Amino acid sequence: MELQTIEWRNNKIKLIDQTRLPDKLEYVYIDNLKSLWQAIKKMKVRGAPALGAAAAWGVYLGAKDIKAKNFSEFSRKLDKISAYIASCRPTARNLFWGIERMCSAAVRNKNKPIPDIKRILFKEAQDIIKEDKASCRRIGYYGARLIKNNDTILTICNAGALATIDYGTALGVIYRAGEEGKKPKVFSCETRPMLQGARLTAWELKHKGIDVTLICDSMAAALMRQNRIHKVITGADRISANGDAANKIGTYNLAVLARYHHIPFYIAAPGSTFDLGIKSGRDIPIEERDAAELTRLFFKNPVGPKGIKVFNPAFDVTPADFITAFITDRGVIRPPYAKNIPRVLGE
Amino acid sequence: MELQTIEWRNNKIKLIDQTRLPDKLEYVYIDNLKSLWQAIKKMKVRGAPALGAAAAWGVYLGAKDIKAKNFSEFSRKLDKISAYIASCRPTARNLFWGIERMCSAAVRNKNKPIPDIKRILFKEAQDIIKEDKASCRRIGYYGARLIKNNDTILTICNAGALATIDYGTALGVIYRAGEEGKKPKVFSCETRPMLQGARLTAWELKHKGIDVTLICDSMAAALMRQNRIHKVITGADRISANGDAANKIGTYNLAVLARYHHIPFYIAAPGSTFDLGIKSGRDIPIEERDAAELTRLFFKNPVGPKGIKVFNPAFDVTPADFITAFITDRGVIRPPYAKNIPRVLGE
């Protein structure tokens, strides 16, 4: 796959419009913050690492046009831009991480002329892109060591090329295992309500020649009962210092099922998804989204009765003790997480 | 709700077309076996007890036009009709039960003139309708005794008025608890792929004034973790002599989650859903359905990539030891099931 989810092109942010897949591979070009905010909100771009990069380019997009007499004025305006981007979605750690990295780069260089700081911000966003590509490949390298020949892996949502710049976290592990000749097979949970598993994961795995079968989220248990799943691997949106992990709604469901059926449950994520400032999953804010995601299939066909109450959390939290290991860009982290996460990922 | 899912009207089978709900309440009138077969296959009528009644009326629909010189000829033609109806869907016990009841009624009266046998078959189908109504109310009566004031109940698929003649099995329990002033609340799993929970269960509960909230199937675990579910109650399509229960795909998922979270898991079903001729769930045939149920939302919007492999079992089997009790029309059956099911339901 020679696709890149996010890049800077002709003074605009160029994104794959993920709401159009798998029907159409289309790009959107974003030249203002409001459009970026909408693109993130509507999940034209999604996936924690991709959101980190999108946020960083968003900060640059705003910063490049700041008119300021001094750093103090520049910084105030940068903070406003950052706060606006940060207000879009609450759960994924990488969104805030991307913003914070950009702001830190500005602060570190506050004695330089404003045009130089803008150039530094451009470079910082470019670095985030480069680092994400490298990070996914390291995750793939470490994770593939856990995969045996012909393993069948269950995943949910999309933690693939489309959730990152070009390779993926959970799917990066599968791609790498495939490159090593291990012939992994995948069951992709369709991932209601927004169907990232059907639209994105099934699409990119098929595109890459991985043996993939689409199932409804509710079918995972039956497959596990039939001993047809060897491992579960998902991505994450935010991981607290103790190893509790917020990820797409339904992940906790799979974690309970995996434990019951004695199947290893792995989370693949870069260091930037870990939020060491947060003690436990209880402190992770969970976004609730539009009821229409359930009651109108893809906002087209109505399927629920008019005015029906809906509970639509976009994420759930899987407690640390369900997680066999974290596959990170700095190696595999095993329990006890409260000790090992800060040891591997702390400053 | 003054609706009746199935009735005999103007020499035709009159069915609520459940594929049009909740948008439109429309009826189909069926005057030939091929149309009935299609209506069952496409789930215009579904739900184990409703299938029993539909099958019985189907047998009468075919039988009333049989031209035969003697019972032997009549019986051969009746068997052909029965086999055709039985070939439609393999899992729900009631479909076969309805057919068998009709055929037995014919055999019991084989010495009567053919026109009399036809009248007896008409009466037998009418009796099945009447008995279903009474049976659901008894299930409601026994089940409501298990419900406490303000209990929140999770259910999947539709085991309501629309799955029976007019009241429901799992939902019958909830309706009865509501009538007793217990104010039950319900979370309805949308039930992919065919969304019976969103389209049918949420619709009929709301219609009946029950507090209902729609969720995706994958959200049940998060709700249980938050102690927001007090009981799980589902219907069943076939229950073997040892208490293993086939029901809508995703039921086993909920059973594992309920056990892990220490939540009672009940199955509500009439005696006609029990198949005492089958020892265990391993012997229950599981229907696999069209991939397009997953890859095209309601056969309209494409959501999966072209040519993607799909696993689409319509049912799963929940092993007996996950089931706290069966709520039947002859009372609540508790373990050990291998002893108590034949004791309560056997001849």
Where in the sequence of chain A do the CATH 3.40.50.10470 domains occur? 148-345
Higher-pLDDT residue of A214, A300 = A214
- Tens digit of pLDDT for each residue in A180-203? 999 999 999 999 999 999 999 999
How confident is the prediction for chain B on average, in pLDDT?
96
What value does the mean pLDDT take over residues B161-181?
98
The residues, ordered by sequence, that sit 6+ positions from A284 with a Cβ below 8 Å of its Cβ are A91, A238, A240, A244, A246, A275, A278, A315, A317
What value does the mean pLDDT take over residues B71-96?
97
Instruction: Provide the 3-class DSSP secondary structure of residue A178.
Output: helix
Q: Which positions of B are catalytic?
A: 237
Please judge whether B250 and A195 are an interchain contact, meaning their C-beta atoms are less than 8 angstroms apart: no
Confidence of residue A301 (pLDDT cuts 50, 70, 90): confident
The residues, ordered by sequence, that sit 6+ positions from A12 with a Cβ below 8 Å of its Cβ are A29, A30, A31
Please judge whether B316 and A225 are an interchain contact, meaning their C-beta atoms are less than 8 angstroms apart: yes
Q: Does residue A235 register a pLDDT over 60?
A: yes
What amino acid is encoded at B294 in this protein?
A: L
What value does the mean pLDDT take over residues B47-73?
98
Where in the sequence of chain A do the CATH 1.20.120.420 domains occur? 6-136
Give bridge partners of residue A156 from the DSSP assignment: A189
Please judge whether A253 and B253 are an interchain contact, meaning their C-beta atoms are less than 8 angstroms apart: yes
Please judge whether B218 and A217 are an interchain contact, meaning their C-beta atoms are less than 8 angstroms apart: yes
Query: Least CB-CB distance to B308: which of A202, A223, A305?
Result: A202
Query: Least CB-CB distance to A198: which of B217, B259, B294?
Result: B294
Give CA–CA dist A213/B327, Å, rounded: 36
Task: Tokens for A335, please give them.
Answer: 């329990």
Q: Which residues of B touch A156 (CB under 8 A)?
A: 218
User: pLDDT value at position A85?
Assistant: 98
What CATH topology corresponds to A6-136? Four Helix Bundle (Hemerythrin (Met), subunit A) (1.20.120)
State the first-to-last Cα distance of chain A, in angstroms, to the nearest integer: 35
Task: Tokens for A73, please give them.
Answer: 């004025």
What value does the mean pLDDT take over residues A70-88?
98
What value does the mean pLDDT take over residues A138-160?
98
A294 contacts chain B (CB < 8 A): yes
A25 contacts chain B (CB < 8 A): no
Q: Is A237 a catalytic residue?
A: yes
Helix B71-86 vs helix B33-41: crossing angle, to nearest 10: 30
How confident is the prediction for chain A on average, in pLDDT?
96
The DSSP output letter for B149 is: T
- Other CB atoms within a 10 A radius of the CB of residue B343 amount to 10
Q: Which residue in A217, A237, A244, A316 is the catalytic one?
A: A237
Query: Least CB-CB distance to A305: which of B206, B298, B301?
Result: B206
Decide which of 3.40.50.10470, 3.40.50.150, 3.30.360.10, 3.40.50.720 is the CATH code for A148-345. 3.40.50.10470
Please judge whether B219 and A301 are an interchain contact, meaning their C-beta atoms are less than 8 angstroms apart: no
Query: Least CB-CB distance to A225: which of B213, B252, B304?
Result: B252
Determine contact, residues A116/A149, Cβ cutoff 8 Å: no
User: pLDDT value at position B225?
Assistant: 97
Query: Least CB-CB distance to A249: which of B22, B219, B256?
Result: B219
Q: Minimal Cα distance from A19: which residue of B?
A: B303
Q: Which residues of B touch A295 (CB under 8 A)?
A: 198, 214
What amino acid is encoded at A54 in this protein?
A: A
Confidence of residue A297 (pLDDT cuts 50, 70, 90): confident
What ipTM was estimated for this complex?
0.95
User: pLDDT value at position A302?
Assistant: 78
B310 contacts chain A (CB < 8 A): yes
User: pLDDT value at position B102?
Assistant: 98
The residues, ordered by sequence, that sit 6+ positions from A136 with a Cβ below 8 Å of its Cβ are A49, A164, A165, A166, A167, A168, A169, A172, A270, A329
- Phi then psi dihedrals of residue A113, to 5 deg: -60, 150
Please judge whether A221 and B308 are an interchain contact, meaning their C-beta atoms are less than 8 angstroms apart: no
Please judge whether B309 and A213 are an interchain contact, meaning their C-beta atoms are less than 8 angstroms apart: yes
The DSSP output letter for B195 is: T
What value does the mean pLDDT take over residues B129-133?
98
What value does the mean pLDDT take over residues A269-293?
95
Which B-chain residues 229-258 have CB contacts (< 8 A) with chain A? 249-250, 252-253, 256-257
What value does the mean pLDDT take over residues A9-22?
96
User: pLDDT value at position B299?
Assistant: 62
Determine contact, residues B159/B92, Cβ cutoff 8 Å: no
Q: Does residue A1 register a pLDDT over 60?
A: no
| Closest Cα in chain A, distance from residue B247 (Å) | 12
Q: Does residue B1 register a pLDDT over 60?
A: no
Closest CA to B18 of B53, B50, B44: B44
What pTM value is reported for the model? 0.96
